[in-house]
């Protein structure tokens, strides 16, 4: 029972985790990225569309990554390089994503609402053989799609990138005091631009997991605020990959418990709130701690 | 958000240029799906004004102008309100509760319903302001997350405790006709909602141009440190502006319910995306109230034209949404255009 | 051996000539002071040396080779290091991360933290500037952060090190250890340039002195052979204080009475139990090395910052009151930074002038602005203060520094408060406007207003003040009047009053 739940948590949290990693990179680079929601939606749409066209899950995921990276270009160029307002651009991208996917869904596939197609297959799930032998843990960790495992590898990889490599060090400096970084020879706008594009690719991955992970379909606005939860997860985790992963785990848990309670007969309107309520409560908790600290210092 | 950083003339030029670029890009999207952009745009223009189009455009202006001004007054004072959905829902719910269950004569119910809606929407936004002031949770994030919560709670309420069992839909009972807002005043095609929204718009514009409060909010938006140093009580002002912004969103919700929908149906308030269209209008207008109203009317016409185009050509009306977003992006990417020209 | 030579450097900003044919030559192994008052052109000269500004004329030679820097990176590559007043550091990164930034040791993509730590320790030991490589920069004291800044320059093989007002933020102990480090570096053959306007420091640590005045070279002195008097003469010349008004000693009841005022930041009292009076009809100046609590004192008086103690304005205790309430009790305030605090640059002149009093009867009626009255008032003040502006409707941010400052001062005087608090009245203001502002302030004093001035420009304080209070480490340690109001005495008290007297 509990192992089933935890296994579900891993599935549910993956899109948010990937999007939050994208947000973390941007945050570290000093670009406030509130377009995660829209980029994820584009990724989900492209993944399903490409899946219909190519019939291959691998190509579908690749297409989602590439197209979403391209979709991130306005933020990369306008926001990071030319000093446009990242909040306005982020809002614009979110709305464009929502409009464009709905339009193309209808114009290309003649569908409103939800696109299900027999040629769209969910990402293959496989158990790691070594894990399957372990009791309980095997049931939790086994049987996910490759992207679930990849997302955790990415958490580690981004941690290593940020804190162990020279580029990560430069990125952190750029995000903190861009003028100082430039004074020491770092090319601030090149770093920011490329990071925003890479983050776009990660959001594409997040969208692909959302659309092809547990289900195999695209629905209008199917991200339903997950991109915003990713934004908050970056804040809660203070742009630290492991902290963010923990925040996402909490989100996944709230989501999974909500789904369970729904199975027990609680109306889904109430259980749907759970992730947002938990997220808001977590921010309130963090805020209270900050306020208390300030009081002590004063 | 750089409200007021451009003089009026170059701002207008920038907006017109953005619209032109967006129309071209939107045309490319249409082309990519195998349709003819020219006929699409022609149908949109015709649909917005010809025949019933004009009346529909005017009706759509009511919520859109309301939501756009809600964003604009906050933005003018430096607050980004992304929680219009939640404030609208809470306001709409308060309105429908008063209109259905308050034991007073019909017209008084309508009036009290509007007041309740403004109070509820305002309080909902005020909570987000308190979260920002007290706990340093950005207003933008808090107001947005609270929208999702309002969506779930109102959805639950109209599906279960408040549901009208007579219809198969998740919706409340119908508001009695005596508590509705009239659709035509003196037999003219002008609804009560239009009159109320016009009065609100004029009040916002006058306050922005000549009111001491509007002056204070605008200066705060331009430089909060200067405002504080000159004696403005910033926390109190943030709370007030947030309340008013939310109250306007709540009012927009109430006008839709009492004037057009007559009951609270799950999803009906949010489906047309008034909050986001309003947000786009206010951002495009750089929070100037007059420009916000003008852009909202333009967007309303665009959307109504889009529906007409969908009926005649069968292409999805959401294309107009794409156009709106493209206009914003073109405007926000303006520095790119300028920078390139200079070098 | 001449390591650095700057010849005939000229730099103009519009009509202002910031550097006019300035030459500077520094030898290896030498500590060379560049002196002058605020606005004398020191910073411009150093920014040219560091590649931040391009000179209009003149050349830079290092080791006899002509240099042409298009950016600081070029200057760094040529061996010029600069320690700015505001450090270019990443507070949330560690010392070693700051030090090796963009110059990281390690293999391939990975940074070797151990190699970086060893590098910090080794470099620190070599130059007597040890720092713990793993500390977060934000946790370090200012003196240590400055040490890091010097190490950063050294790690990039600097042979010429410029220190811009390095002691402004230091305690005496930190200052002494900085001087020791400077001597050590000079002994290793480096050329050090110390930019400062503090005479005792120059006497204590330098070998030669280049003095600048009004953008020109006014003398090159050898420290051993000169005297403080000679340095002062070179710095100030004899064309100074143009508007020394007769000094006043009014006896009326104080307009501002400050009692036991303290402001705490963490465990440190940045303003420490300060008491003083300002009477109607006098200008009281506050002098002090920057970083000794002057801005915090003013913020506490005007209500921008929380404080303990008493602030009494016109007989009324305003200690617990808000900024707005203090303003209506009788405080006008001209803040130090007119762009960040003193104005809303994008708003018009008229709007900037009326804001703060816009709820009063002169500017509004039943909640609506009286726009014509507001504009008329702005036009009158533009005329009266000789502000050069196309109209009262143009954004205040489009004005020059001097005209913008006039707008701020006009607004604060127009408010009619009996007490005017003013920080840096003429910073970044052209000469004509300086004279006008000084005359205006003295005229307001003669009308019976009480004026409190904070300035880092001693000449200005001497010209304006009837009384000068000197702040040192958060306390007022001297109140000077009459013949005690001279550079020497004030300078001594600014240093804590240890030497002499």
Supply the ipTM of this predicted assembly: 0.88
pLDDT of residue A152: 93
Checking phi first, is residue A273 left (phi over 0); if not, alpha (psi -120 to 50) or beta? alpha
In chain B, the DSSP E strands lie at: none
Entry pTM: 0.87
Residue C365 dihedral angles phi and psi, to the nearest 5°: -140, 125
Q: Which residues of B116-148 are buried (b: 16+ CB within 10 A; e: fewer)?
A: bbbbbbbbbbbbbbbbbbebebbbbbbbbbbbb
CA angle C57, C63, C67 (to 5 degrees): 35
Most confident of the ranges A119-123, B249-253, C240-244: B249-253
Burial of C315 (0-12, 13-18, 19+ CB in 10 A): exposed
Q: In the predicted model, what is the mean pLDDT of residues B203-212?
A: 95
pLDDT the model gives residue A286? 86
Does the pLDDT at position B6 exceed 50? no
pLDDT, position A14: 94
Indicate the helix (H) or strand (E) that contains C17: strand C16-27
What is the pLDDT, as a whole number, of residue B108?
92
Q: Which residues contact C491 (CB under 8 A, 6 or more apart)?
A: C198, C199, C200, C458
Second CATH level (architecture) for the domain C2-236: 3-Layer(aba) Sandwich (3.40)
If pLDDT is split at 50, 70 and 90, which confidence band does A132 have? low
Mutate to test the interface with A, among C81, C92, C102, C269 (most CBs of A within 10 A): C102
When divided into structural domains, chain A yields a total of 1
Among candidates B279, B23, B221, B294, which has minimal Cα distance to A88?
Answer: B279
Q: Is B4 on the interface with C (CB under 8 A)?
A: yes
Kindly report, residue by residue over A173-212, the tens digit of the pLDDT: 999 999 899 888 889 989 999 999 999 999 999 999 999 9
What pLDDT sits at residue C444?
Answer: 94
- What would the pLDDT profile of B156-182 be if each residue is shown by its tens digit? 999 999 999 888 889 999 998 888 998
A177 and C CB contact within 8 Å:
yes
CA distances (Å), B113 to each of B179, B180, C457, in order? 9, 10, 64
Q: How far is C149 from chain A (nearest CA, A)?
A: 12
Asked if residue B341 has pLDDT above 60, the reply is: no
- Least confident range of A177-181, B212-216, C238-242, C401-405: C238-242
More confident residue, C379 or A5: C379
Question: Smallest CA–CA separation between A241 and chain B, in Å?
Answer: 21
Q: Please choose, from the candidates A48, A3, A17, the residue with its C-alpha nearest in 3D space to the C-alpha of residue A153.
A: A17
pLDDT attached to residue C498 = 57
CA distance C127 to B324: 62
User: What integer is the mean pLDDT of B16-35?
Assistant: 89
Which of residues C336 and B96 earns the better pLDDT score?
B96
CB–CB of B217/B77 below 8 Å? yes
Residue-by-residue DSSP string for B228-293: HHTT--HHHHHHHHHHHHHHHHHHHHHHHIIIIISS-BTTTTTTT-HHHHHHHHHHHTTT-HHHHH
CB contact under 8 A, A93 and B329: yes
Instruction: Check A77 against B333: CB less than 8 A apart.
Output: yes
Domains of chain B, earliest start first: 8-342 (1.10.3470)
CATH of domain C250-330+417-501: 3.40.50.300
Chain B neighbors of A272, CB-CB under 8 A = 152
Structure tokens at B171: 């919706």
Mean pLDDT within C227-240: 69
Is A266 part of a structural domain of the chain? Answer: no
How far from the centroid of its chain's Cα atoms is residue B141's Cα? 18
Report CB contact under 8 Å: A166, C90: no
Shortest Cα distance, chain B CAs vs residue A41, angstroms: 14
The DSSP line for A85-148 is -HHHHHHHHHHHHHHHHHHHHHHHH--SSEEE-TT--PPPEE--HHHHTSTTHHHHHSSEEHHH
Q: What is the pLDDT of residue C497?
A: 67
Residue A142 has pLDDT above 80, yes or no: no
Question: Pairing between strand C256-265 and C308-313?
Answer: antiparallel
Q: Show residues of chain B in contact with A112, CB under 8 Å.
A: 316
CB contact, 8 Å: C107 with chain A?
Answer: no
Given a cut of 70, whether residue C242 has pLDDT beyond it is no
Q: How far apart are CA B107 and CA B258, in angstroms?
A: 11
* Residue C240 pLDDT grade (very low, low, confident, very high; cuts 50, 70, 90): very low
Residue A212 included in any domain: yes
* Of residues A141 and B157, more confidently modeled: B157
Highest average pLDDT, of B122-126, C144-148, C200-204, C252-256, comes from B122-126
pLDDT band at C176 (very low <50, low <70, confident <90, very high): confident
- Write the residue in A104, A231, A291 that is nearest to B141 by C-beta: A231
Q: Tens digits of per-residue pLDDT, B269-324?
A: 998 899 999 999 998 888 999 999 999 999 999 999 999 999 998 888 999 999 99
- Residue C192: pLDDT above 70? yes
* Confidence band, pLDDT 50/70/90 cuts, at residue C500: very low
User: Residue A292 pLDDT more than 80?
Assistant: no
Q: How far is A124 from chain B (nearest CA, A)?
A: 31
Let me know if residue A231 belongs to a domain.
no
- The answer to whether the CB of A233 falls within 8 A of the CB of A20 is yes
pLDDT given at position B338: 44
pLDDT, position B337? 43
Query: Is A214 a residue whose pLDDT tops 90?
Result: no
Per-residue pLDDT tens for B60-93?
999 999 999 999 999 999 999 999 999 999 999 9
DSSP H/E element including C9: strand C2-13
CB–CB contact A165 C109 (8 Å): yes
What's the CA gap between C500 and A289, in Å, rounded?
52
Q: What would the pLDDT profile of C441-475 be if each residue is shown by its tens digit?
A: 999 999 999 999 998 777 788 889 999 999 988 89
Q: Which is nearest to C255 in space by CA: C322, C321, C301, C287?
A: C301
C285 close to C455: Cβ distance less than 8 angstroms: yes
Q: Which of A173, A175, A240, A297 to mutate to test the interface with C (most CBs of C within 10 A)?
A: A173
> What's the CA dihedral at B241, B244, B250, B256 to 10 degrees?
-120
Nearest to B117 by CA among B242, B268, B249: B249
CB contacts of B226 in chain C (<8 Å) are 341-344, 355
**C371, B210 Cβ separation under 8 angstroms:** yes
Query: Could you tell me the residue ranges of all domains in chain C?
Result: 2-236, 250-330+417-501, 342-416
Nearest residue of C to residue A180, measured between CA atoms: C88
Equal fold, C2-236 vs C250-330+417-501: yes
Q: How confident is the model at residue C184 (pLDDT cuts 50, 70, 90)?
A: very high
pLDDT number for residue B49 = 86
């Amino acid at each position: 029972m509990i192992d089933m739940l935890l296994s579900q948590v891993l599935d549910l949290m993956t899109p948010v985790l990937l999007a939050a990693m994208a947000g973390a990179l941007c945050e570290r680079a000093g670009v406030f990225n509130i377009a995660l929601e829209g980029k994820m939606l584009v990724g989900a749409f492209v993944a399903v569309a490409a899946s219909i066209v190519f019939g291959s899950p691998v190509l579908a995921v690749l297409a989602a990554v590439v197209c979403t990276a391209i979709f991130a270009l306005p933020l990369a160029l306008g926001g990071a390089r030319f000093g446009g307002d990242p909040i306005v651009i982020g809002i614009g991208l979110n709305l464009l994503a929502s409009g464009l996917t709905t339009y193309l869904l209808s114009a290309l596939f003649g569908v409103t609402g939800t696109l299900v197609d027999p040629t769209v297959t969910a990402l293959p799930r496989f158990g790691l053989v070594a894990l399957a032998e372990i009791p309980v843990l095997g049931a939790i960790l086994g049987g996910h799609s490759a992207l679930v495992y990849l997302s955790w590898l990415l958490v580690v990889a981004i941690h290593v990138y940020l804190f162990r490599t020279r580029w990560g060090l430069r990125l952190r400096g750029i995000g903190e005091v861009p003028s100082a970084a430039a004074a020491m020879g770092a090319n601030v706008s090149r770093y920011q631009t490329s990071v925003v594009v890479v983050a776009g690719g990660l959001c594409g991955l997040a969208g692909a997991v959302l659309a092809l992970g547990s289900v195999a379909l695209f629905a209008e606005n199917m991200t339903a605020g997950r991109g915003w939860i990713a934004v908050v997860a970056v804040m809660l985790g203070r742009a630290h990959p492991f902290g963010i992963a923990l925040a996402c785990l909490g989100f996944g848990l709230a989501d999974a418990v909500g789904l369970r309670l729904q199975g027990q007969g609680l109306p889904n309107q109430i259980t749907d709130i759970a992730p947002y309520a938990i997220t808001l409560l977590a921010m309130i908790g963090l805020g209270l701690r900050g306020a208390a600290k300030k009081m002590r210092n004063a | 958000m750089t409200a007021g950083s451009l003089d009026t003339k170059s701002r207008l030029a920038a907006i017109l240029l953005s619209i032109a670029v967006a129309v071209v890009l939107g045309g490319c999207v249409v082309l990519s799906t195998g349709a003819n952009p020219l006929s699409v745009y022609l149908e949109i223009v015709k649909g917005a004004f010809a025949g019933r189009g004009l009346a529909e455009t005017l009706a759509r202006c009511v919520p859109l102008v309301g939501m756009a001004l809600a964003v604009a007054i906050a933005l003018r004072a430096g607050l980004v309100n992304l929680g219009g959905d939640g404030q609208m829902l809470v306001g709409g719910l308060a309105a429908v509760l008063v209109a259905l269950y308050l034991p007073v004569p019909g017209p008084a119910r309508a009036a009290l319903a509007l007041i309740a809606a403004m109070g509820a929407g305002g309080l909902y936004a005020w909570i987000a302001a308190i979260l920002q002031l007290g706990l340093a949770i950005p207003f933008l994030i808090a107001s947005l997350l609270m929208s999702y919560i309002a969506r779930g709670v109102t959805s639950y309420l109209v599906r279960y405790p408040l549901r009208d069992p007579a219809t198969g839909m998740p919706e409340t009972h119908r508001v009695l006709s005596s508590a509705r807002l009239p659709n035509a005043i003196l037999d003219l095609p002008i609804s009560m909602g239009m009159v109320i929204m016009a009065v609100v718009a004029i009040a916002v514009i006058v306050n922005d141009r000549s009111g001491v409060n509007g002056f204070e909010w605008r200066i705060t938006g331009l430089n909060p440190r200067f405002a504080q140093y000159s004696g403005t009580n910033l926390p109190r002002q943030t709370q007030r502006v947030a309340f008013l912004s939310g109250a306007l969103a709540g009012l927009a919700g109430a006008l839709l319910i009492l004037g057009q929908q007559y009951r609270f149906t799950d999803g009906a308030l949010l489906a047309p995306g008034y909050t986001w269209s309003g947000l786009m209008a206010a951002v495009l207008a750089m929070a100037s109230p007059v420009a916000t109203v003008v852009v909202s009317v333009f967007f309303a016409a665009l959307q109504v034209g889009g529906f007409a185009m969908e009926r005649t050509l069968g292409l999805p009306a959401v294309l107009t949404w794409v156009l709106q977003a493209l206009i914003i992006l073109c405007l926000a990417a303006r520095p790119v255009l300028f920078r390139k020209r200079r070098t | 051996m001449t390591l650095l030579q700057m010849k005939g450097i000229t730099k103009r900003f519009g009509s202002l000539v910031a550097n006019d044919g300035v030459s500077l030559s520094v030898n290896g192994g030498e500590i060379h002071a560049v002196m002058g008052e605020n606005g004398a052109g020191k910073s411009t000269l150093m920014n040219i040396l560091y590649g931040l500004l391009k000179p209009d004329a003149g050349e830079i030679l290092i080791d006899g080779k002509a240099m042409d820097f298009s950016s600081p990176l070029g200057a760094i590559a040529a061996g010029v290091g600069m320690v700015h007043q505001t450090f270019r550091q990443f507070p949330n990164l560690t010392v070693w991360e700051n030090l090796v930034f963009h110059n990281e040791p390690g293999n391939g993509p990975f940074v070797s933290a151990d190699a970086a730590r060893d590098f910090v320790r080794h470099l620190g030991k070599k130059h007597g500037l040890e720092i713990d490589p793993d500390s977060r920069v934000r946790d370090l004291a200012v003196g240590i952060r400055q040490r890091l800044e010097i190490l950063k320059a050294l790690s990039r093989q600097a042979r010429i090190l410029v220190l811009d007002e390095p002691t402004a933020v230091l305690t005496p102990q930190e200052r002494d250890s900085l001087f020791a480090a400077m001597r050590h570096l000079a002994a290793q053959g480096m050329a050090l340039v110390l930019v400062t306007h503090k005479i005792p420091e120059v006497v204590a640590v330098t070998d030669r002195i280049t003095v600048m005045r009004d953008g020109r070279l006014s003398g090159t002195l050898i420290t051993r052979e000169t005297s403080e008097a000679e340095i002062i003469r070179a710095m100030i010349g004899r064309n100074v204080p143009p508007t020394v008004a007769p000094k006043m000693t009014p006896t009326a009841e104080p307009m501002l009475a400050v009692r036991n005022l303290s402001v705490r930041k963490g465990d440190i009292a940045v303003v420490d139990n300060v008491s003083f009076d300002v009477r109607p009809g006098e200008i009281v100046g506050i002098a002090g090395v920057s970083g000794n609590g002057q801005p915090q004192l003013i913020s506490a008086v005007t209500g921008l910052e929380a404080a303990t103690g008493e602030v009494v304005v016109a007989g009324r205790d305003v200690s617990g009151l808000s900024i707005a309430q203090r303003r209506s009790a009788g405080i006008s305030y001209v803040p130090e930074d007119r762009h960040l605090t003193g104005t809303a640059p994008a708003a018009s002149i008229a709007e900037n002038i009326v804001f703060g009093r816009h709820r009063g009867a002169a500017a509004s009626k039943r909640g609506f602005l009286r726009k014509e009255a507001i504009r008329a008032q702005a036009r009158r003040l533009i005329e009266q203060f000789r502000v050069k502006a196309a109209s009262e409707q143009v954004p205040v941010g489009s004005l020059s520094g001097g005209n913008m400052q006039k707008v701020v001062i006009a607004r604060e005087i127009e408010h009619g408060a009996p007490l005017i608090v003013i920080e840096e009245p003429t910073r970044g203001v052209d000469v004509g406007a300086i004279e006008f502002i000084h005359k205006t302030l003295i005229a307001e004093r003669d009308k019976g207003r009480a004026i409190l001035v904070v300035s880092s420009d001693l000449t200005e304080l001497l010209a304006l003040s009837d009384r000068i209070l000197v702040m040192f480490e958060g306390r007022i340690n001297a109140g000077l009047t009459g013949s005690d109001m001279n550079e020497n005495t004030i300078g001594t008290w600014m240093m804590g009053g240890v030497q002499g007297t």
